[in-house]
Structure 1
Amino acid sequence: MSSIIIICAVAVVCFAGYAAWKNRKKQSAAEDVPASDDAKNTDEFSKAFFERAQAGETAQQFLQLSNQTDCALLQGMLQSAGIPSYTDFTHINKFYGPLTEATPSGLSIRLQILINDYDDALAVVNDYTKTKGSSAGITVYPKQQ
C-alpha cells in the first residue's frame, strides 16, 4: 500500500515538474522571438525601392545576372549612387553553380529598378562592365516606356 502512495507521489511530482519546465520553455521562446517588423524583413537595398514603388513609381526588370559577385557589386554600386533596387533568385546559383554562370538562363538573378532611375543605373552598369573588362553574364533590358 505504501509503495502505491510513493509511486503516486513521484508521478505527481514528475507531472508538476514537466508542466513547469514546459511553461518556462514556452516563455523563454516567446521572449527570444523579436516582434515582427517589416523593415527587418527587407534588406537595405530593397527598402527604398519598395517605399518608392508603394508611392506610385513604376518598376522594371533592369538586369539579368548569372553571377552572384556581379550582382552584389552592382547592387552596392547602385545603392551608393542612390538608386534603389530589388533582386530575385539571388541564392539559386548556389544550387546550380557553374550551370548558371555558363549561359544566361531562367535561373539567373533578376535585378529590378524604378524606371525613373534607368538612365543613371545604365551609366553605373556601363562603368562597371568597362572596369571589369567584360559584360559576360550581364544582360541589360531596354527602358520601358
Structure 2
Amino acid sequence: MNYWLMKSEPDVYSWDDLVRDKKTVWEGVRNYQARNNLKAMKKGDLAFFYHSNEGKAIVGIAKIVKEHYPDPTDNEWSVVDISPDKKLKTPITLAQIKSDKRLTDMALVRVSRLSVQPVKKEEFDMVIALSEGK
C-alpha cells in the first residue's frame, strides 16, 4: 500500500463535501508531477485530505477506489476516484508539521505547492499519532 496527500481548497471542495458525496472524481490536476502521482495510485491506497489556502491542515483520510483513467475533459491528464475513509480526530496543521523535526522531509514541507504528493508510511503514521494526541 502507498500513501498520498491530496490538496483541495475547502471553499471549492471540502472534506465535508467528500463525506456528503461518498465518492468523487479527483479532477483538475494540471501539473505533470502531480499527474504522475495520480497514475501511481493503486486501488486501496490511502491519501491525506488536506485543506489548502484556508485552514492549511490535514483533516481526513481518503481511499483510492478507482485507479487512474483519462480525465473526461482532457485525455492528456488523469483522474482517480476517491471516497472518505475517516476524519482525523484532530486536524493537523501545516504549522504543526513544519515544527515537528521528524516531518522536515515530508513533501508537504519540501514541495509545498504540489497538489498530489507521496507520503512515506512513517510520516503517515506520525501524522495519525499526532492527530490522536500520541
Give TM class, smaller chain. Answer: under 0.3
Higher helix residue share: 1
| TM-score calculated relative to the size of structure 1 | 0.23
TM-score (norm 2): 0.24
Task: From the CA coordinates, give the structure whose radius of gyration is larger.
Answer: 1
